[in-house]
Structure 1
Amino acid sequence: MDIRDLWSEALAGVLARPVRSALTTLGTVLGITTLVVTLGIAATAGNQIVGRFDELTATAITVDVPTRLGPAVGWDSPAELLRLRGVVSASAVAQTEASSNLRVTSNTIVDPTRVTGQTLAVVAATPELPGAVLGRMTRGRFFDAGHVRRGDRVAVLGEQAAQMLGVARMESAPAVFVEGRAYTVIGVLGGLRREQALATAVIVPPTAGAELGLEHVSRVLVNTSLGAADLIARQAPLALSPGHATELQVIAPPTPKRARDAVQDDVDGLFLILGLVSLVVGAVGIANVTLVTVMERVAEIGLRRALGAARRHIAAQFLLESTLIGLVGGVIGSSLGIVIVVAVSAVRDWTPVLDVRPALAAPLAGAAVGLLAGLHPSLRASRMEPADALR
């Protein structure tokens, strides 16, 4: 049989029953559409999951300065860190065991009816501290370089420390007394996303902290942009103190890369299984309808065999018919799947992630499904004897 004759016979067989062919094609369309949609949604959802993990990626680095190093890290050292690409903010902090438990009072009057004194931590820090601890000033302001340069006795209270001391308003320039020394409160720091202990602390400039034994930097707080934490963790000691880089202790939480990759692989595998199941369902539908078609065309098969058609001609015709149905279903299903992925991404405000290879391979997958689904019916049709078929 000539290829053109085979093609025309197969096309005529498909178009002879358009409604049935359309319904048969629908099974492949649903299978391919589900496969493309699941792969596309899996990639898109996986991208969103990766984005969520990236938001949780550690960007906070702490560099601890051992006490024995003394002034190895100066108060102006964080300025060197800001020159590194990827550093968002940095601040130097000084705190000792002695300064962690100091008597702090809000006035010098002894009032037995109320508590005016607390045991709080006193910390010296550079003016960049609010950015380094990802906090905000809920009242007043933070001290600046001018306060540090003049040696002003000013203080900023943590939000809980202000409540404990009964300091609520900044207009009257309230004062707190640390070990008998008066410090004017100019602001309250709250909303801390790191260094939560500072919520119950009294924060003073480095020059004022020197009076309380806080001369040397004990740690440096650094915030980086996403993805820069590992690099900055290696570079920070060199930038802070080149001569003592190996003695500085860098604390950088590990990134959740392994967990992120595992979750993405699980999502991809789950959606791929769902798509393959849908494709198998479509293949079963094609096989079922093709088998019914063969049974209904027994007389035609018998007549063609009587006129000289060989077994391979009959098998090739039915195989080509089922392959055509699968190919058409693959083309429609692939196009429909891409549209659904984009529509779902638009509704969810996601960035659609589409792999071109599965979309282009979907029509071929549909044709392969049709070919496999038509194997049994075509072999059954080719084995019919002309006399039995005509009878």
Structure 2
Amino acid sequence: MKILDLWNEAAAGLLARPVRSALTALGTVLGIATLVITLGTAATAGNQIVGRFDELTATSVTVDVPGDDRPLVGWDDVREVTRLRGVTSAAAVAEAKESANISVRANELVDPSRMTELTLTVVASSPGLPEAVKGRMLQGRYFDAGHLARGDRVVVLGERAAQLLGVTRLDRAPAVFIGTHAYTVIGVLGDLRREKSLGSAVLLPPTIGQRFGLREVTRVLINTSIGAADLIAKQAPLALSPSNAAMLQVTAPQSPTRARDGVENDVNALFLILGLVSLVVGAVGIANVTLVTVMERVTEIGLRRALGAARRHVAAQFLLESSLTGLTGGVVGASVGVVAIVVICAVKQWTPVLDVRLAVAAPIAGALVGLLAGLYPALRAARMEPVDALR
């Protein structure tokens, strides 16, 4: 029996009862569509979570410098970190217990309407702090290398500290008194996305901070490009202090790729079983209908055997019919699944992510399900004797 003849006979058998064939393929359509939607939605959701992953957390690296008899990291060492590929900004910060509660006054006048003397935290930092804490200057400017070189007595207030001290304008060069010395306020730093506690602090240049015990760098704040945090976490200690890199403690975020893979695996584990159950139901439907078809076509089978058809020819015909049913269900199910994923992403305004291999494998899986489902009916049809079938 030629392959073309076998194909024509199988197609004729399916088209003889198109409604029954369509209903038989419906189970496979539902199973394949459920699998495609589940896997596609899992991949899309994982990618969407990475897209909306907290960029601040994913790109923030902190290097803690322990106290030692000699400084492990100098103020100028931060420049070495900024040279690393993947670093977008970095700044050094110095904090000390004795500078956590220092009396700060806005002026020498007594104003009953507001507090003019507060206990605030005084922090020394390098000039790149606004970028390192993901903030912006609400007023004025941040001190730079020129202020450090001249030893200017200037400060920058955090947004909350400026509000408490009543510093609302900088056009008249207001000053704050830290202890008995006056310092000119040149800027107000706010909208901090990182190290929000600095919003209530008084920020000093390192040259001024030495007067308050802020001589040594205690932390280095580093921002990286997405995906570079792990690498920078390994390189930063060597760049800051090559001879004492092992003593520096680095805090790096978890890789967004791991989060995406974890979400995708969780969604797959929850819903993949649903698609498999639907696929099993479709396979049972194909097997049942194919078996009924064999019983209805006993006379046809007997006539074919009497005319010289071998057992393998009869078995191949019914196997091909069930495989075509599964293949049709797989193609339709894969198409429905892809369209459903696109619609879901359009409604949610997501970027659809679908593995091309999944769309190609779905019809093949449908054909395989149909083949396995038609195996028993085909073998039963092949075992019929011509005389018994015709009788």
Question: Which residue matches 1:133?
Answer: 133
Determine the C-alpha separation between the residues in 2 that align with 1:38 and 1:360. Answer: 16
Secondary structure at the aligned position of 2:223 is classed as: strand
Cα deviation for residue 203 of structure 1 reads 0.7
Residue 14 (str. 1) matches residue 14 (str. 2):
yes
Question: Which residue matches 2:225?
Answer: 225
Which 10-residue stretch deviates more, 306-315 or 69-78?
306-315
Indicate conservation of the 8 Å contact 2:106/2:117, yes or no: yes
Residue 205 (str. 1) matches residue 205 (str. 2):
yes
Residue 168 (str. 1) matches residue 168 (str. 2):
yes
Question: Which residue matches 2:93?
Answer: 93
Indicate conservation of the 8 Å contact 1:49/1:264, yes or no: no
Matched AA of 2:322: S
Deviations 1:216-242 (A, max 9, x none): 333322222223223222322332233
How many residue pairs match? The answer is 391
Determine the C-alpha separation between the residues in 2 that align with 1:344 and 1:354. Answer: 13
CA 1:133–1:2: 2 relative to 1, 3 Å: closer
Cα deviation for residue 48 of structure 1 reads 2.7
Q: How does 1:1-391 map to 2 (within 5 A)?
A: 3-53=3-53, 55=55, 57-111=57-111, 114-255=114-255, 260-304=260-304, 313-382=313-382
Indicate conservation of the 8 Å contact 1:175/1:185, yes or no: yes
Indicate conservation of the 8 Å contact 2:136/2:191, yes or no: yes
Determine the C-alpha separation between the residues in 1 that align with 2:245 and 2:310. Answer: 85
Determine the C-alpha separation between the residues in 2 that align with 1:284 and 1:144. Answer: 76
Deviations 1:313-342 (A, max 9, x none): 544432222222222332343344344444
Determine the C-alpha separation between the residues in 2 that align with 1:312 and 1:213. Answer: 93
Q: CA RMSD in A?
A: 3.0
Determine the C-alpha separation between the residues in 2 that align with 1:221 and 1:143. Answer: 17
Cα deviation for residue 380 of structure 1 reads 4.5
Matched AA of 2:32: I
Matched AA of 2:39: L
Matched AA of 2:43: A
Name the TM-score, length of structure 1 as normaliser.
0.86
Cα deviation for residue 179 of structure 1 reads 0.1
Determine the C-alpha separation between the residues in 2 that align with 1:179 and 1:129. Answer: 24
Secondary structure at the aligned position of 1:68 is classed as: coil
Determine the C-alpha separation between the residues in 2 that align with 1:101 and 1:3. Answer: 90
Cα deviation for residue 85 of structure 1 reads 0.9
Matched AA of 1:337: G
Indicate conservation of the 8 Å contact 1:57/1:226, yes or no: no
CA 1:67–1:372: 2 relative to 1, 3 Å: closer
Cα deviation for residue 205 of structure 1 reads 1.7
Indicate conservation of the 8 Å contact 2:60/2:222, yes or no: yes
Cα deviation for residue 79 of structure 1 reads 1.4
Determine the C-alpha separation between the residues in 1 that align with 2:114 and 2:362. Answer: 77
Which 10-residue stretch deviates more, 375-384 or 315-324?
375-384
Unaligned residue ranges in structure 1 (runs of 5+): none
Cα deviation for residue 253 of structure 1 reads 4.7
CA 1:360–1:137: 2 relative to 1, 3 Å: same
Matched AA of 1:252: A
Matched AA of 1:161: A
Determine the C-alpha separation between the residues in 2 that align with 1:309 and 1:88. Answer: 76
CA 1:7–1:116: 2 relative to 1, 3 Å: closer
Secondary structure at the aligned position of 1:88 is classed as: strand
Indicate conservation of the 8 Å contact 2:153/2:184, yes or no: yes
Unaligned residue ranges in structure 2 (runs of 5+): none
Determine the C-alpha separation between the residues in 1 that align with 2:118 and 2:111. Answer: 14
